[in-house]
Amino acid sequence: MANPTLEPPGTVPKDAAPQSKPPLIQALRSIFSKGEDPDEARTVARRRRFVMAAVLGTLSVNLLMFLRFFFPRALYEPKTKFTIGYPTDFGFGVDTKFQKDHRIWVVRNTEGIFVISAICTHLGCTPDWKPSENKFKCPCHGSGYDPEGINFEGPAPRPMDRAHVELDPQGQILVDLSHLYSWPKGERSQFGDDGAILRNV
């Protein structure tokens, strides 16, 4: 097939018009067969199509490889499962001593002990615990949460998530940050589920 963008308009052969692109299979067959196609223009068209398909195929496979390259199979990120000590270590109220190492707060209220993931539900900053105001306040956009992590001001859409907690055989609290309990707006609260809170400890 004459490519009008490659050749000056005058050189388009008259017999080129009725020919359309041959299908790829046919192109491949004619390239690898020994018999010669008497129609040279058609042969050239097939070859061009084959080369184009090869180039585009290589490029698209390379693009997929390029994209996949950015997603490694293994990550070396901080552990999401760890122990934080015995239930008796934690008094009533908010405990911030694991904020720096594990980005969590341990809270004991009248019901029991639970662990808040210290990630603002607005855009993921770490709120500050303000003991004098008895609330969490996010420095990024001003979301406010009560001591149980329930949002009451600012742009946060829902309370902060809570991590799965259980007692290990030694009686220590085992926290699993990969298993979160949340309370999306207008939906059922998961905060009372098994594992969201340690009762009677």
Q: Residue numbers of the site for another protein (CB under 8 A)?
A: 70-72, 75, 77-78, 123-125, 139-140
Residue 121: CB minimum distance to another protein, A: 10
Contact 165, 114 (CB under 8 A): yes
Using the minimum distance from each CB to another protein, give the nearer residue, 32 or 71: 71
**Encoded tokens for 84:** 């934080």
**Residue closer to another protein, measured from CB, 126 or 172:** 126
Nearest distance, CB of residue 120 and another protein, angstroms:
9
Reading the block at residue 106, the tokens are 């341990």
Closest alpha carbon to 161 in 193, 97, 115: 115
Taking the least distance from each CB to another protein, the nearer of 94 and 120 is: 120
Nearer to another protein, 38 or 72 (CB): 72
Give the nearest distance from C-beta 73 to another protein in angstroms: 11
User: What letter would DSSP give residue 16?
Assistant: G
Q: Cα–Cα distance between 93 and 134 in angstroms, integer?
A: 10
Dist CA 159 CA 147 (whole Å): 11
Residue 12 or 59 with smaller CB distance to another protein: 59
Shortest reach from residue 159's CB to another protein, in Å: 17
Q: Give dist(CA 118, CA 139) in Å, integer.
A: 13
Least Å distance between CB 124 and another protein? 4
Strand partners, 129: 136
